Structure 1
């Protein structure tokens, strides 16, 4: 099945240009002219990727990512920000998208990234394997969804990748450098304190869902997922 990509943009010319590039590469595209339209496509599982046209003085990036996290669908789709000049970098960090590209960019960069992330396909058995940790917590790697007692937990893409790494070996302590390498593989530099911020958010979400502490902090070393006693 051809991967379907939605382009969230209010600029018709930009959509047509980007759509032409993606169609030529074998992808199927659809325009989402606002956050409501994008959210509907994601909740109805009609797309695999959402490309977000980020413009200065526009709240579209924060709006869609906030809506996705609130609805529990933030890990259901690959989120890619296409960032125009003048957009504050802190806004991109806060949005916690899977990847971002600064415009103008070479189309080959975006296509290479999409090919690498989508090549396994939605029906790949290995990609959909469940990751088990404590009895009341599991991950569906294919759907990129965390389940607490069988119910979805609203996590950002970065939080999901951190949890996936920790749950790959329950009880093992992962240092901050290891988590940075696993979660931000293409980043030039990530401050270790950034890891602490995301782990704190992840810990809070899991505590709200399970009513107990899931992540253990080992001072000076890193973090580990606790097994359920």
Structure 2
């Protein structure tokens, strides 16, 4: 019933820095994908929809600024937190990076401890359950530390898959998630599951959420997927 680990996309063209950063991120318990230039980064984002992007400014083929701009102008990626890394320490550069949409700006050389703290801060926003935060939507409360779900004053009994589905929906309230996105987020990229399986588990989750009464909070968006509220 565990919450899936946060997925970080690390975009850095210097191999040594990339591996040191990846090692430290994995030591923190994050899944890490690597890209060595901006074009590769955009291809990876299309495949994995990461929970956070760590992005070097100066890269071949496509700069970090351009990657950030593209991510923040697309509806499907605009809410992914971006931490920009740069050797450019001038205030005007930091302002430019933040104005492009970066959520944080870190100047090289940086302290690994400080960078990991900033990663945790951004992930609290995009993946609160993974950092132990309570998830609350109307009268539904999910406590990831205790693996406990309540609606009103009633505790709900959920199977492991329904629990992970609820976490995913609670972390992105109001956002429509396609069946393919839910498969990646709940079952994982490397596991083949038929998309109709999502419908079966959504039905089970709906039954669990309404077992003590109350309206069904899950909305079906025809031809698109599901959302909470």
TM-score between the two structures when normalised by the length of structure 2: 0.49
Structure 1 length-normalised TM: 0.49
